[in-house]
Amino acid sequence: MSDEIAARLTEMGITLPEAAAPAANYVPYVISGNLLYISGQLPLEGGKIAVAGHLGKTVDVASGQRGAELCAINILAQAKAALGGNLGRIRRVIKLNGFVASAPDFVEQHLVINGASNLIAGVLGEAGKHARAAVGMAALPLNAAVEIDAIMEIAE
């Protein structure tokens, strides 16, 4: 990991966890050429879903943003595992796809996924600025309130 990224993580009070094992029949990441695809990450903390339920029903926007931040931390943990511990190999986060378990009338998915966008940009600086989707869903695995996947350009 680059010293600059490590310093930002420390400054933000973030310790990356061990990358979570897949919960079903898929791999946590795939590297193809200079692209790193990270499978959807849930708001896990201490091995458990930390933010569960539906936005606009049982979860408020601030809690949803915290869930999105946890997803982003888990994305970074997967990237660290994929890149042999060197997050400095990330040249650019190309896109985050954010999925928000939402009540039918909830329309602030974009505000929820800002939790992840702000964290990724804060940790990775210019390389963390990305394109994004924020989509409402009827339900997510394990009753998670948020799930986010990522595509990154990496250095050899």
pTM across the whole model: 0.97
Q: Tell me the per-residue pLDDT of 7-24, one tens digit each, with 9 for 90 and over.
A: 999 999 999 999 999 989
Q: Alpha-carbon torsion 82, 88, 94, 95, what sign?
A: positive
Q: Tell me the per-residue pLDDT of 89-131, one tens digit each, with 9 for 90 and over.
A: 999 999 999 999 999 999 999 999 999 999 999 999 999 999 9
Torsion angle, alpha carbons of 11, 36, 117, 8, to 10: 10
Compute CA 80 distance to the chain's CA centroid, rounded to the nearest angstrom: 13
* Highest CATH level, class, for 1-16+30-155: alpha beta
- Rounded CA gap, 1 and 11, in Å? 15
